[in-house]
A and B are shown apart, each in its own frame.
Chain A
Amino acid sequence: MKVGILSFQGSFLDHSKSIHELGYESLLIKQSKDLTSVDALILPGGESTAMKKINQFSNLLTDIDQFIKDGIPTLTTCAGTILLAKEVIGGEVTIPNIDIEVTRNAYGRQTESFEGSVKFFENEDIYCFIRAPKISKILSDTVNVIAQHDDEIVGVAQKNVVSLTFHPELNNDEYYLNWLNDFIKEGKNVRSF
Chain B
Amino acid sequence: MKIESTKKVKKGLAEMLKGGVIMDVVNAEQAKIAEKAGAVAVMALERIPADIRADGGVARMSSVGVIQEVMDSVSIPVMAKARIGHFVEAQILDSLGIDFIDESEVLTPADEVNHINKQSFKAPFVCGATGLGEATRRIAEGASMIRTKGEAGTGNVVEAVRHMRTITNELNEVIACDENEIVALSKKFRAPLNVLEEIKEQNKLPVVNFAAGGIATPADAALMMQLGCDGVFVGSGIFKSGDPAERAEAIVIATTNYNDPKVLSEVSKDLGEPMVGINIDTLSEEEKLAKRGW
Contacts and interface: CB of A to CB of B under 8 A. Distances in A.
Given A9-B40, A47-B76, A57-B263, A113 B4 contact: yes
Nearest to A105: B75
A66 interface: no
A11 B20 contact: no
Contact of B38 (A7, A53, A117, A130): A53
B18 A110 contact: no
A116 B8 CA distance: 12
B5 interface: yes
Contacts of B234: none
Nearest to A45: B16
A113 to B, nearest CB: 5
B13 interface: yes
A131 B13 contact: yes
B187 interface: no
Nearest to A150: B2
Interface stretch (B45-53, B80-88, B249-257, B276-284): B249-257
Interface string A39-61: 00000011101101110010000
Contacts of B17: 9-10, 46-47
Contact of B9 (A7, A8, A9, A128): A128
Contacts of A114: 2-6, 9
Interface string B2-31: 111110110011011111110000000000
A112 B99 CA distance: 10
Contact of A110 (B6, B40, B123): B123
Interface residues of A, number: 44
A26 to B, nearest CB: 15
Contacts of B257: 30-31, 57
A46 B40 CA distance: 8
Contacts of B35: 49
Contact of B2 (A54, A104, A115): A115
B253 A54 contact: yes
A110 B1 contact: no
Given A110-B99, A113-B4, A131-B77, A46 B9 contact: no
Given A47-B20, A50-B76, A115 B6 contact: yes
B123 A167 contact: no
Contacts of B18: 9-13, 46
A14 interface: yes
B76 A9 contact: no
A93 B71 CA distance: 23
Contact of B12 (A128, A149, A150): A128
A23 interface: no
B36 interface: yes
A126 interface: yes
Nearest to B99: A110
B244 interface: no
B4 A111 contact: yes
Contacts of A167: 12
A122 B100 CA distance: 35
Interface in B72-129: 75-77, 94, 97-100, 122-124
Contacts of B275: none
Contacts of A71: none
Nearest to A117: B1
A74 to B, nearest CB: 19
Contact of B20 (A13, A50, A111, A128): A50
A18 to B, nearest CB: 13
A57 B253 CA distance: 7
Interface string B57-75: 0000000000000010001
8 contacts: A10-B15, A31-B257, A31-B263, A54-B256, A113-B5, A113-B9, A131-B16, A167-B12
Interface of B: 1-6, 8-9, 12-13, 15-21, 35-41, 71, 75-77, 94, 97-100, 122-124, 231, 249, 252-253, 255-257, 260, 263
Given A10-B20, A113-B12, 5 more contacts: A10-B17, A30-B260, A50-B21, A104-B75, A111-B99
